[in-house]
Structure 1
Amino acid sequence: MLLYKPKKNQTGKGNRILISITVLGSAGPIRFVVNEEELVADVIDTAMKAYAREGRLPVLGSDFSNFVLYCPSAGTEALGPWETIGSLGVRNFMLFKKSSQGENTVDDGKQSPIRKGAGSWKTWFNKSISRKIASH
């Protein structure tokens, strides 16, 4: 008679998912596997460590509390640091540095990644990339 041994990922820890985090100004997204029940703050910390380990530019620093994680397809609100990464059911995210005023949004009339409307963050992202490419 054989005894059933549960696999390690079935011991109540949740499913593991592959996520993709795009950092503004970076060459491409960072991809890694996380547990669905992992907190957003931990995911930001892991992403920043992976980013630094790969030697990517621009240099972000090491304080993950200065950054917020957005899901472009789920709305314009940043994910809270105590939310679970799997709570929205999406796997693509964008990492932004918090504004210097302590707010997550910018309402000074300039175009920002948080504006409402279809594709507004994409327009802002493309403009910021084209400025960086044109300056080199």
Structure 2
Amino acid sequence: MLHYKQKKNQTSKGNRLLISVTVLGSAGPLRFVVNEEELVTAVIDTALKSYAREGRLPILGSDLNDFLLYCPNAGTDALGPLDTIGSQGTRNFMLCKKPQPVKRSEENDMLSVKESVPSAARKGNGTWKSWLNKSLNLKISSH
């Protein structure tokens, strides 16, 4: 009968993984160790706490229900909150805020902005920068 020592990165709950979580809009990834059996919600919570503890910008908040975790190699669908992190077979993830639904008043504001934009700018007859320069009559003087 062969006896073997349990590997260092194995515990009674499973393997531990060093994962990298890139936060959309942040300078660099967060790296931390998780158990492969941990749920996606626990990983999001750990990432948000680590992000806040490091004082990173932009400020994200702490409500883990406002965020989705993506696996860049697995397609465009976000991971389910009850999925295990080790089931993906990868160690790189991306954390993004959930898209916020447009409120009714914001839709009306967007319509009024669209109506105030000249039709030439809306049709794409130039870039928005050229339209802005023309409409504001910005001229740079030499001295």
TM-score by length of 1: 0.67
Q: Is the 8 A contact 2:40 2:85 kept in 1?
A: yes
Correspondence list, 1:94-109, <5 A: 94-101=94-101
Q: Which runs of 5+ in 1 are unaligned?
A: 103-136
Shift of 1:41: 0.1
Correspondence list, 1:1-136, <5 A: 10-101=10-101
TM-score by length of 2: 0.64
**CA RMSD, Structure 1 to Structure 2 (Å):** 2.1
Q: Secondary structure at the match of 2:85?
A: coil
Q: Which has the higher helix share?
A: 2
Q: Which runs of 5+ in 2 are unaligned?
A: 103-143
Q: Which amino acid aligns with 1:38?
A: E
Partner Cα distance (1:13, 1:6) in 2: 12
- Alignment length (residue pairs): 100
Identity, % of aligned positions: 75
Bigger radius of gyration among the two = 2
Shift of 1:88: 1.0
Once superposed, which parts of structure 1, at least 4 consecutive aligned residues long, lie more than 3 Å away?
4-11
